[in-house]
């Protein structure tokens, strides 16, 4: 019942804050990686280069699907923003369902921007079904398709090191985040501005995906404080020998 | 049509979620919906593989860079799928040979490249970003590697010393990892709720 209560509380907070944020947009703290992402999107449109968005290999019917859904929300917004570009963004993924949803999201983004003719089936790709085949498939996109910025966001493992190295070698910009701890360690060691932990889920808010994304960040902050207080309170009870 | 799609998707999501909390009332329906999802995901693999082949054929047709490799990929796919998989069966010795002699060594080679890449990235870390956290990251990594390193004489600090070192560092890294995972769990929860409320529609709705 505690879990259900937490879920209901979260849902109510999300709804309430979303309506509030529609009236008063949030002031978000500066995250250098997302600043660079927004700059890279503008530059790619202006100089006729591509964005490469890699959504990882998150399985949507597992608990790790959250990062894939966050990536899709960001992709939707980026598709709208780059709809005027000569070269549409290329999306690579390592999960078949995710690849199909990425195509659907690209199409919906172009439709919303009134540029449906921009959509090509080949821009949403399944590059491989195992971690390394996915990475090696995405490498050819980074090397061969006139990419100026790579956005790697989703469930990846250590194989993400190959993507980072390829982006570095091509001298292209890289914005990378993962929900996997080993991939986060790889990104911390090898990228310019790594996104750590839940910063992955802030992508939508920072690319202007709407009030619900900004509200999500606030709800996350509130829940985080609740968890911190619960941990401290539980530790104190344990310290005084209370039965918990 | 898009409203109907959204309504179906949201209803399925809500039923599966509530099925966890009310297993007696909605448990069987949840299992049916999840079974459907697994079947659809299986079909999606076939669609995905077709997409992969189509993208590479398109690359070859448009004479893009690396298009020839695309033809090699499609030929390998056809031979493996129809020749070895459908005709001889997935348990045939030829299929096992293809996996053991080609796929496993290629993935192992990529793993070896990754090791070199990560060592190189760690060496360049301080040149890229010289701050306190980078220094701490490198020091802890080196200490961990030394502690875990196999030597002909056994652990470098002895059994007890190594265990003490791993426990001490593990106290910080374990705490940090839990913090990160709690943050990720909260992000996942909120992302899921946004999809359930229809604020995000990754299934193509506007």
Provide the pLDDT for residue A7.
Answer: 92
Structure tokens at A69: 């859904």
Disruptive mutation site among A182, A197, A221, A232 for chain B (greatest number of B CBs within 10 Å): A197
Contacts of A132 in chain B (CB under 8 A): 106-107, 110-111
Cβ separation of A130 and B203 shorter than 8 Å?
Answer: no
Contacts of A181 in chain B (CB under 8 A): 177, 180-181
Domain identity same for B7 and B78? yes
Disruptive mutation site among A203, A216, A235 for chain B (greatest number of B CBs within 10 Å): A216
Provide the pLDDT for residue A12.
Answer: 95
Cβ separation of A66 and B205 shorter than 8 Å?
Answer: no
Provide the pLDDT for residue B206.
Answer: 56
Interatomic CA distance for residues A132 and A157, integer angstroms: 10
Cβ separation of B184 and A66 shorter than 8 Å?
Answer: yes
What digits encode the pLDDT tens for the residues B68-116?
A: 888 999 999 898 888 888 888 888 888 888 888 888 899 999 999 999 9
Cβ separation of A198 and B186 shorter than 8 Å?
Answer: yes
Element (H, E) at B69: helix B67-78
Judged against a pLDDT cut of 90, whether residue B166 lies above it is answered with no
CA atoms within 13 A on the CB side of A216: 33
Domain identity same for B82 and B4? yes
Provide the pLDDT for residue A230.
Answer: 94
Judged against a pLDDT cut of 80, whether residue B2 lies above it is answered with no
CA distances from A104 to A80, A91, A153, B23 (A): 13, 11, 18, 33
The residues pairing with A154 across neighbouring beta strands, listed in sequence order, are A178
Domain identity same for B98 and B161? no
- Name the residue facing A66 among B17, B191, B201 (closest C-beta): B191
Nearest-CA distance B116 → chain A (Å): 10
Domain identity same for B110 and B141? no
Supply the pTM of this predicted model.
Answer: 0.89
Interatomic CA distance for residues B170 and B167, integer angstroms: 5
Q: Which domains does chain A have, with CATH numbers?
A: 28-207 (3.40.50.1220)
The residues pairing with A149 across neighbouring beta strands, listed in sequence order, are A51, A173
The neighbour count for residue A216, using CB atoms within 10 Å, is 33
Judged against a pLDDT cut of 80, whether residue A132 lies above it is answered with yes
Domain identity same for B72 and B157? no
What digits encode the pLDDT tens for the residues A147-198?
A: 999 999 999 999 999 999 999 999 999 999 999 999 999 999 888 888 998 8
Q: How many domains does chain B have?
A: 3
Judged against a pLDDT cut of 70, whether residue A110 lies above it is answered with yes
Q: What is the arithmetic mean of pLDDT over A8-28?
A: 88
Judged against a pLDDT cut of 70, whether residue B205 lies above it is answered with no
The neighbour count for residue A159, using CB atoms within 10 Å, is 26
Q: What is the arithmetic mean of pLDDT over B127-155?
A: 86
Question: Is A197 in contact with B180 (CB distance < 8 Å)?
Answer: yes
CA distances from A215 to A24, A153, A197, A204, B191 (A): 11, 21, 18, 11, 11
Q: Look up the domain containing B146 and give its range.
A: 131-206
Provide the pLDDT for residue A226.
Answer: 94
% of chain A residues with pLDDT over 70: 100
Provide the pLDDT for residue A222.
Answer: 95
Contacts of A111 in chain B (CB under 8 A): 206
DSSP for A131-170 reads HHHHHHHHHHHHHHS-EEEEEEEEE--TTHHHHHHHHHHT
């Amino acid at each position: 019942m505690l879990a259900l209560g937490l879920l209901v509380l979260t849902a109510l907070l999300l709804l309430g804050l979303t309506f509030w944020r529609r009236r008063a947009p949030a002031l978000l703290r500066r995250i250098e990686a997302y600043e660079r992402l927004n700059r890279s999107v503008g530059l790619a449109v202006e100089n006729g280069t591509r964005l490469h968005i890699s959504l990882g290999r998150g399985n949507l019917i597992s608990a790790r699907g959250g990062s894939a859904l966050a990536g899709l929300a960001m992709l939707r917004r980026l598709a709208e923003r780059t709809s005027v570009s000569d070269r549409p963004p290329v999306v690579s993924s390592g999960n078949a369902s995710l690849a199909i949803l990425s195509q659907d999201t690209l199409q919906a983004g172009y439709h919303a921007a009134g540029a449906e003719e921009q959509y090509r089936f080949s821009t949403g790709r399944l590059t491989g079904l195992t971690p390394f085949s996915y990475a090696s498939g995405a490498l050819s996109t980074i090397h061969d398709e006139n990419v100026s910025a790579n956005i790697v966001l989703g469930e990846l493992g250590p194989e993400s090191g190959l993507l980072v190295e390829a982006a570095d070698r091509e001298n292209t910009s890289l914005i990378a985040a993962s929900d996997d701890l080993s991939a986060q360690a790889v990104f911390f060691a090898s990228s310019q501005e790594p996104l750590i932990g839940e910063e992955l889920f802030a992508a939508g808010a920072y690319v202007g995906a709407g009030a619900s994304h900004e509200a999500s960040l606030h709800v996350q902050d509130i829940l985080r404080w609740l968890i911190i207080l619960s941990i401290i309170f539980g530790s104190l009870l344990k310290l005084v020998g209370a039965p918990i | 049509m898009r409203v109907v799609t959204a309504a179906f998707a949201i209803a399925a999501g809500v039923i599966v979620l509530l099925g966890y909390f009310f297993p007696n009332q909605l448990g069987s329906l949840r299992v049916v919906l999840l079974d459907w999802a697994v079947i659809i995901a299986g079909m999606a693999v076939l669609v995905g593989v077709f997409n992969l082949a189509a993208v590479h054929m398109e690359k070859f047709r448009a004479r893009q860079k690396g298009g020839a490799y695309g033809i090699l990929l499609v030929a390998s796919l056809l031979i493996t799928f129809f020749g070895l998989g459908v005709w001889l069966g997935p348990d045939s010795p030829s299929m096992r040979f293809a996996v053991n002699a080609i796929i496993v060594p290629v993935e192992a080679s990529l793993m070896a490249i990754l090791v070199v890449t990560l060592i190189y990235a760690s060496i360049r870390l301080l040149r890229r970003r010289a701050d306190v956290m980078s220094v701490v990251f490198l020091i802890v990594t080196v200490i961990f590697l030394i502690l875990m390193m196999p030597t002909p004489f056994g652990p470098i600090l002895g059994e007890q010393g190594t265990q003490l070192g791993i426990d001490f560092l593990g106290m910080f890294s374990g705490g940090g990892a839990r913090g990160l995972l709690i943050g990720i769990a909260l992000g996942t929860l909120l992302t899921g709720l946004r999809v359930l409320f229809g604020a995000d529609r990754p299934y193509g709705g506007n």
